Amino acid sequence: MAASVIAAGVLVGAVVAGGFDWSRSADELDAALVEARPTRVADIPAADGLPERGVFAQVTSTGQFCLSDAPIDAPLMGGGGCNSVDDPLGESAISASLAFEGGPAIETVSDARLIGVAASGVSSVRVLMSDGSSRTVKLKRARVGSDELRVFGYRIRKSDLKKGVGPVAIVAYDSGGAEIGRQTTGIG
Amino acid sequence: MRKLVLLLALTAALVFVGAALAVETYGGPRYWNPGDSAASSWQSGWTRNSFNKAASGYETTVTFIDNVSYSWHATIRNRDTVTYTNWWSSQVKKAHCMANTGYHWGGCHAS
């Protein structure tokens, strides 16, 4: 399995000089995201008549590691989340974003997707659904600077959404099957 | 075809930079409790919406709401330091943000 490499090292100087002030720097981060080269680290396969999308990683001059879910040909036109490049997982074993179109009532959601990163010690990830069932998520390797991570993209089945079934948590397990991370989520 | 795609991407990036220069803070910066939300004015020009926090670990949602069906578009929910989305539509819309969990500092911005 080939690993994607997101070059963080070359930006270290800019990171130190730039920084990120949450209270005022929305415009700075917006501009930094446009400048930062997006690296496609995982895919969300086409399904249910919906097109394939990409999972893109960026390291910005403001010192952020950002992961987004975007059209394959337009990596800057999606959405996602950013954490400090020094802590891309936000002090957790797993960090995920839920993206959806439509709603907020789940039955009116036309597309819902999960993307995320997990620590190298994560062996598997499952999505827990509101009906008590769970779904397995495929993991890929990616390297951010010296950190080796696992990345994923997953599309919620349209048949689930139509039944009012949505994701309620993303859970990370180690190789022994023990839970080592959990993030709650939900539509609406 | 490749040149056309590159040209479109460049144009989009330039538009994006232009939009980024006109950021409006519509929620906070302030302390957020679970369930708190905020919304911008209605405009057709909004394309970007973000919730910037002082720390990661707090679940937040950003979305756009159109003024016809009041449906949500390009919604993103996560617990990262920054939760952001883009919706490239000419529809009249408002940016909306919500704190799913608390208690934390943060601000919502649209452009």
* CATH code, B32: 2.60.120.380
Which residues of chain B are modeled with pLDDT < 70? Answer: 1-21
Per-residue confidence (pLDDT) for residue A146, from 0 to 100: 80
Beta-carbon count within 10 A of A29 CB: 29
Question: The domain containing residue B43 runs over which residues?
Answer: 24-110
pLDDT for A14 beyond 50 = no
Q: Nearest by CB to B75, which of A24, A95, A99?
A: A99
Q: Where does residue A152 rank: exposed (0-12), middle (13-18), buried (19+ CB within 10 A)?
A: buried
The answer to whether residue B40 is domain-embedded is: yes
Residues of B in Cβ contact (< 8 Å) with A161? none
Q: How far is B103 from chain A (nearest CA, A)?
A: 16
For B53, which residue in chain A has the nearest alpha carbon?
A22
The answer to whether residue B104 is domain-embedded is: yes
Tell me the residues of chain A between 12 and 41 that have a Cβ less than 8 Å away from chain B.
Answer: 20, 22-27, 29-31, 34
pLDDT for A180 beyond 90 = yes
Calpha distance B103→B34 (Å, rounded): 7
Structural domains in chain A (count): 1
| Beta-sheet pairing, A140-144 with A4-6 | parallel
Q: Is B106 on the interface with A (CB under 8 A)?
A: yes
E runs forming strands in B1-111: 24-32, 37-39, 48-53, 60-66, 72-78, 82-86, 93-99, 104-110
Enter the tokens of residue A149: 């991570």
* 3-state secondary structure string across B97-108: EEECCCCEEEEE
The answer to whether residue B14 is domain-embedded is: no
* 3-state secondary structure string across chain A: CCCEEECCHHHHHHHHHHCCCCCCCHHHHHHHHHHCCCEEEEEECCECCECCEEEEEEECCCCEEEEEEEECCCCCCCEEEEEECCCCCCCCCEEEEEEEEECCCHHHEEEEEEEEEEECCCCEEEEEECCCCEEEECCEEEEECCEEEEEEEEECCHHHHHCCCCEEEEEEECCCCCEEEEEECCCC
Q: How far is A31 from chain B (nearest CA, A)?
A: 6
pLDDT digits (tens, 9 = 90+) for A35-75: 999 999 999 999 999 999 999 999 999 999 999 999 999 99
Mutate to test the interface with A, among B37, B82, B87, B98 (most CBs of A within 10 A): B82
Per-residue confidence (pLDDT) for residue A94, from 0 to 100: 98
Structural domains in chain B (count): 1
| Cβ atoms of residues B100 and B77 within 8 Å | yes
Q: Nearest by CB to A77, which of B12, B53, B100?
A: B12
The answer to whether residue B41 is domain-embedded is: yes
Per-residue confidence (pLDDT) for residue A19, from 0 to 100: 58
pLDDT for A9 beyond 70 = no
Calpha distance A121→A172 (Å, rounded): 9
- How large is the greatest C-alpha to C-alpha distance in chain A, in angstroms? 50
Identify residue B104 by its one-letter amino acid code.
H
Tell me the residues of chain B between 9 and 68 that have a Cβ less than 8 Å away from chain A.
Answer: 9, 12-13, 16-17, 19-21, 23, 25, 29, 48, 50, 52-54, 56-57, 59, 62
pLDDT band at A16 (very low <50, low <70, confident <90, very high): very low
Strand partners, B72: B65
What separation in angstroms does the CA of B56 have from each of A16, A45, B48, B76? Answer: 19, 29, 20, 15
Calpha distance B58→B28 (Å, rounded): 16
Q: How far is B68 from chain A (nearest CA, A)?
A: 13
Give the residue carrying structure tokens 């949602």: B61
pLDDT band at A144 (very low <50, low <70, confident <90, very high): confident
The answer to whether residue B94 is domain-embedded is: yes
Question: The domain containing residue A8 runs over which residues?
Answer: 4-184
Assign B91 to helix, strand or coil: coil
Give the residue carrying structure tokens 């144009």: B11
CB within 8 Å of B30: residues ≥ 6 apart:
B105, B106, B107
